[in-house]
Amino acid sequence: MNDFTGAGAEMPNIAMETPEGGSVKPSDFAGKKLVIFFYPKDNTPGCTTEAKDFSELKSEFEAAGCALLGVSKCSPKKHLNFIAKHDLTTPLATDSEEGGLSDALGIWTEKQMYGKTYMGMVRSTYLVGVDGKIAQVWNKVKVKGHAAEVLEAVRAL
């Protein structure tokens, strides 16, 4: 993780593509808290559970003055399928550009599995305060109970 992407740093304001073909960036949520959760891939077990957990708690996040945004490198078309297949209510965005938000945060990185090296997303969550500064970061997230833990942090902010 880069030093400038920890708690207290300004959230980089880099645009991402929405499934509907528009764009979204962190500053679009100015004046409210924002949780951005980065996940590796649509329709995989852990990512599905995480997106469903955040979707189930969406109204509680909203009641706490917080917006949600799920981000991966998957295409907008894949996001539309993922949303429909699992009845997700949490908005998703595609961070496919080189030099995108996940690159700026240092969470699009080299990974290894079964002796093969590849580029992948480190499952991470960022809580951004109403001031646009990163209030808390969760790296290498374990999915079980994570959305509820993040909701508690949002309420405490």
Rounded to whole angstroms, the Cα distance separating 11 from 36 reads 10
Cα 18 → chain centroid: 13
Q: Is 66 a catalytic residue?
A: no
- Write the CB contacts of 27 (distance below 8 Å, at least 6 apart in sequence): 13, 132
Residue from 47, 68, 83, 147 carrying the catalytic annotation: 47
Which residue numbers are catalytic?
Answer: 47
